[in-house]
Each structure stands twice: as structure tokens, then as C-alpha cells.
């Protein structure tokens, strides 16, 4: 059987272009699978995944500037602004301009937002069950946190 241009191209395909050799693809698939496990559980408490991680910061910080929240979550304002609007509409947060600098917006968790934390613990526990016995998850978490610190440092340099 004669070789075609497609066959020759396939033989020359560099290993770096194979999906299984790409860290980005592995992270992409893993991230999607994690979020898919969270989505139905979070729907039960009225949150999307992005709203959930935003609330996680607020459960810890209670009050934060939007620019600091964007940095913690690696989100741009075009993504974070509608998330905050929806959380505000649900009465989980309040937003107000800083009296010291009107360009800064302060996000504060409300009593309803604090109360939601208890329900979120159930979501977290349910997702964690699906990874019981997976030793690699702990190692992966440490490696990913190292990568996040690396990227955070690079952002500060730029």
C-alpha cells in the first residue's frame, strides 16, 4: 500500500504534539472533571463553581477589595464583575466604594453568605468522597500549589 501525505505527516508528528504528552491538556481534563463533580452539588445550594470559589475567599477573609479578590482567584474583572453581581443579588455579599479611594470596591460577606458556608461543607465532603483512596490527589495538590505560586510571582513581576 503506498504512503500518502497524511501517513508521512503522522510519522513526523513530534511527541510534543501528542495530547498525552501535554501538561496543559491533562490539567484541562482534570479541571473539567473536578468541576463536573461539583456542579450538581453546588446547584443544590444555588451556586456556580466560580461563585463557590469566590465565596470560599469571602468565608476566609470576610471583607476584601475586588482587586485582591481578582488576584487570589486569577480572574479578570470581566469575569469577576458578573459573579459579584449575582452574589449581591442573592444577598450573599455587599459591595461598596472605598471611602479612601473611590476606585476600590470593597466586597463584604453578609449573614446569609456566612450561613451558606455550612451547606458548602457538605458539598466539599461529598466531592472528597469521590477521591477516597487516591493517593495521587495529595501529591497533585502540592504540585499545583507550587505552580500557582510560580504563576502568581510571574504576575507580580509583570
Q: What is the mean pLDDT of the chain?
A: 89
CATH of the domain at 116: 1.10.10.10
Domain that holds residue 34: 22-127
Q: Which tens digit of pLDDT belongs to each residue from 61-112?
A: 999 999 999 999 999 999 999 999 999 999 999 999 999 888 899 999 999 9
Q: Is residue 59 part of a domain?
A: yes
Q: Is residue 148 part of a domain?
A: no
Q: Is residue 138 part of a domain?
A: no
Q: Is residue 7's pLDDT more than 80?
A: no
Q: How far apart are CA 106 and CA 50, in angstroms?
A: 19
Q: Using pLDDT thresholds of 50, 70 and 90, give the confidence band for residue 32.
A: very high
Q: How far apart are CA 89 and CA 152, in angstroms?
A: 31
Amino acid at each position: 500500500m503506498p504512503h500518502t501525505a497524511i501517513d508521512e505527516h503522522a510519522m513526523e508528528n513530534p511527541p510534543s504534539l501528542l495530547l498525552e504528552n501535554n501538561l496543559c491538556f491533562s490539567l484541562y481534563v482534570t479541571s473539567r472533571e473536578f468541576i463536573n463533580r461539583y456542579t450538581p452539588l453546588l446547584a443544590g445550594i444555588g451556586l456556580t463553581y466560580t461563585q463557590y470559589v469566590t465565596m470560599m475567599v469571602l468565608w476566609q477573609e470576610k471583607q476584601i477589595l475586588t482587586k485582591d479578590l481578582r488576584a487570589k482567584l486569577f480572574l479578570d474583572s470581566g469575569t469577576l464583575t458578573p459573579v459579584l453581581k449575582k452574589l449581591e443579588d442573592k444577598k450573599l455579599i455587599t459591595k461598596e466604594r472605598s471611602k479612601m479611594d473611590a476606585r476600590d470596591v470593597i466586597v463584604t460577606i453578609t449573614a446569609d453568605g456566612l450561613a451558606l458556608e455550612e451547606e458548602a461543607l457538605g458539598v466539599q465532603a461529598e466531592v472528597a468522597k469521590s477521591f477516597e483512596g487516591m493517593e495521587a490527589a495529595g501529591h497533585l495538590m502540592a504540585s499545583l500549589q507550587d505552580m500557582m505560586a510560580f504563576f502568581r510571582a510571574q504576575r507580580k513581576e509583570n
